[in-house]
Structures are given as structure tokens and as C-alpha cells.
Amino acid sequence: MFRKKARSIFVILIIGFCIAIFVTEYEVNENIGDRLNFVSQNADTLITVQSAGGYGGFGGFGGGASPMNESVLGLVTTHVGNVVAVQPIITERISGGGESQGGFTMPVIVQGEDPSQTLMLNFGGTVSITQGRSLDSGDVNSAVAIVGTEYASDNSVGIGSQITVGNDSVAVVGIYTTSTGSDFGTNGVIVPYNTAMKAYAAPGPSIIYVTVNYAGNVDATVSQLQTILGSSYNVVSLSSVESQLQNSINSIAQSSEDGLYVALITAAAVMMFVMILITRERTREIGVLKAIGFKNRAIVIQFFTESVVLAILGFVVGIVLYVVAGQELTNVLLSSTSSGGPGRFGGFAGPGRMGGTYGSLNFNLSPEMMATTLVLAIALGIIGSLYPIIRAVSLKPAEALRYD
């Protein structure tokens, strides 16, 4: 098998690359699924208000939306009917402190939210407290924070710890996870809106979530808000963009799903090609083994073992590649698969923003995923080598010995 070392290394690398792509696509697919759930669950009655052109933050949660003036919040709160909740959010990033993978440090997102309202995760879902307490109406002006489980674990932060947010220090009172049960979005900090405003000297919210009393009033409320706020602001209902968003997300999800299959089929094709090459080269050897009395079963086992070893080495290389370069691979994959989506919702579709968008993806490889990939790699080895091996052992010894 390893008689031709350069070829073996090349094959292992190709299979490894396919496996790295497979794992990455799988993770992207999983995370996109979480986002899609969030959008679907909240689409009926939710409206967002942002500075014009700032919608990248909606889907992307990148924290890059331009802040609005505080007066906008007043206009929204006091002049609009049918509204059951208004949640202004200030979104900022803390550079560093996030999980580092392959030289890429995921930014920590700080959200300033009105603690008297339901806390909304920009990443999808709502807050679910695992330790300590949540923020409440008593915390409106307090220097307190709740932090995500991932942030807490990466930065060794617990209840009572002091962390720096903007120019201020705040005390951690609670640790949260997401209501969806996903790790996605737990690499963040939530502080009271006023605390964030002070800490970052923000002129106003980055985004305002407006919840309308029922779905039938959404269009009227959007229209009313747009009239009040003028063209400097974009007022969009999630229901109006849901289909576009769904299409965009579905297209990425489909691309990543296609990528899964392409990666698997490529790896299987490479394996089959290599096994055909190996068995062709070694057909005479198979003839010799048959001539000296080896059973077909023993020959098949030997060749299967060789191809499974190749596939397992490819798996190891693939996992190493994924750990080292999973983030970069995601950016490359998504920027190449997402063009053509609605530019307005750049957070999901605009190639230029994908890096930021998926910077917060969860790149933890679960033992289940490792096991699944290993089983797939072994299956690849067997499937890829099935035809060439069966073909080779079905030859009569004399035919195999004549083979050059």
C-alpha cells in the first residue's frame, strides 16, 4: 500500500481535505438550521428598525450596525400603536477574549438590552439562565451583566466576577445559554441598555426590535413607523423578509448540504480511483497469492484493510485540517456559495460580510460528529474499494498472473 509513498501521501491529503470540508459543511448546516428556527419562530410579529443599510447586523449579528439616535427610540415607543414590546439593543464587540481557532479569535458580542423587556439574543432564541439570575427591571442602571456559557468557560468567568465592557467594569450576576439549546450565541455578554450606552458612549440603539400585538397588524405598523422615521431608517418586518431570508438561508443550507455530498462523493471517487490503481498494479501479486493457495476471502480482507487504513489516515488528516483551518475553510466555502442572495440582507447573503457573520459559528467538534465521520471514512474505504477488489479476486489465477 505504501510502496509509493508520494502517491499515498497525496491520496491521504485529498481524502483528508474532503473530510475537513464534510465536517465544516456539516457544522455550517447545523448552525444555519438554528438560525432558521429563530427567524421562523419570531417572524410573525417582529419588526426591526435600523439605520439605512444596516441590515447586515440583523442576520449577521456582527455588531457592525450604525447606531441610531436615542430620539428614534422615543419616536418608536411613544407614537406607534399595536406594539406590545420595544427592545432596543446596543451591539458592540469586545476584541479578544473569545475562543481562538486556527489563529482566528471569535469576537465577543456585547448587547445592551432593556432588562425590563424579554431579553433577546441577537444570535437566535432567547436567554435561558443556567447559573445566578437574569437581568431584571431593577438592573436598568446597574453595572451588571449576564454572560454566555462559552464566554464564561473561555474566560474563566463566574458569578461575581468583574469584566470590562467598554470603559466600565461590570459584575457578572448570571450565566446563560440559548433557549434553543444550541451553543451558538453563548459567546457573548448582555448588560442593561443604559449601562452599555454609558460604557460605549453610544448615541442610541444599534437595532430596535418591535413586537406587534398580532400578525395582522405588522404591515400597518411597518408603514406607520417608516412614515414617522423617514428614509434614513429601514423598518422591516421579519415576515416580509422571511421568504427572502428563507430562500437565502435555504440556498446556503442547500449549498452546504450539497457540499457534504460532493465532499463524500469526491472522497469515495478518489478512494475508488486509487484502489483501482493499486489493484491493477498488484493484480499479478493477487495471482501469486492465489497460486500459493490463498483464499479469495483472505485477499479481500487484506485489500479492504489497506483501503480502510488509507481512509482512517485521511480522517485523521481531515480532523486536523478542520481544527486548524475550519474557520478559514468556512469563509471560503460560504463566500463561494452565497453570492446571488439578496444583498440587503448581507448578513446572510453578502459575500463581503460572511466572514463576520460566521465568525460566531460554533466550531466545537463533538465526539458524536467525530464518530460519525470516522464511520463514514471507514465506509468510504470499503465502498471505494469494493469494485476494484471484487474485480481483481474474481480473476482466475492464470489471468491475474498474465496481467502486466
Partner 1 sequence: MTESDNIVVLEDVKKDYVTSGRKEPVTALRGVNMTIKRGTMIAIKGPSGSGKTTLLQVIGALDLPTSGMVKVNGEDISEMGEGELTEYRAKTIGFVFQSYNLIPNLTALENVELAMEALDVPAKKRRERALALLTEVGMEDRLNYKPTKLSGGEAQRVAIARALANEPSIILADEPTGNLDSSTGHSIIELLVKLCKEKGTTIVIVTHSDAIPKLCDLTFTIKDGKITSEQESKRLAETEDKRKVLRIALSASEKIVDKLVNAGYLDIDSLSKASVDELKDVLGDRNRAERIAKKVKLLKDNEEIIA
**Interface with partner 1 by CB under 8 A: which residues?**
3, 284-285, 287-296, 298, 396-399, 401
Q: Which helix or strand (DSSP H or E) is residue 273 part of?
A: helix 238-281
In single-letter form, the type of residue at position 207 comes to: I
Question: Which of 258, 248, 266, 246 minimizes the C-alpha distance to 333?
Answer: 258
What CA–CA distance (Å, rounded) separates 98 from 190?
Answer: 15
Q: How far is the CB of 256 from partner 1 (least distance, A)?
A: 42
What CA–CA distance (Å, rounded) separates 46 from 54?
Answer: 17
What CA–CA distance (Å, rounded) separates 100 from 314?
Answer: 25
What CA–CA distance (Å, rounded) separates 384 from 41?
Answer: 43
Residue 33 has φ and ψ, to the nearest 5°, of -60, -40
Residue 111 has φ and ψ, to the nearest 5°, of -120, 130
- DSSP assignments along 105-133, one per residue: EPPEEEEEE-TTSPPB-TTSSBEEEEEE-
201, three cell numbers: 458612549
Tell me which DSSP letter residue 230 carries. Answer: -
Q: How far is the CB of 291 from partner 1 (least distance, A)?
A: 5
Beta strands in 52-197 (DSSP E): 83-94, 100-101, 104-105, 108-113, 127-132, 144-148, 162-165, 168-178, 188-192
Sign of CA dihedral 31, 344, 187, 179: negative
What CA–CA distance (Å, rounded) separates 190 from 135?
Answer: 9
Tell me which DSSP letter residue 68 carries. Answer: P
What CA–CA distance (Å, rounded) separates 302 from 310?
Answer: 13
Q: Give the three-class secondary structure for 169.
A: strand
What CA–CA distance (Å, rounded) separates 206 from 216?
Answer: 27
| Cβ 161 vs Cβ 171: under 8 Å | yes
Report, in angstroms and rounded to the nearest whole number, the Rg of the chain calculated over CA atoms: 27
Q: Give the three-class secondary structure for 39.
A: helix
Q: How far is the CB of 400 from partner 1 (least distance, A)?
A: 9
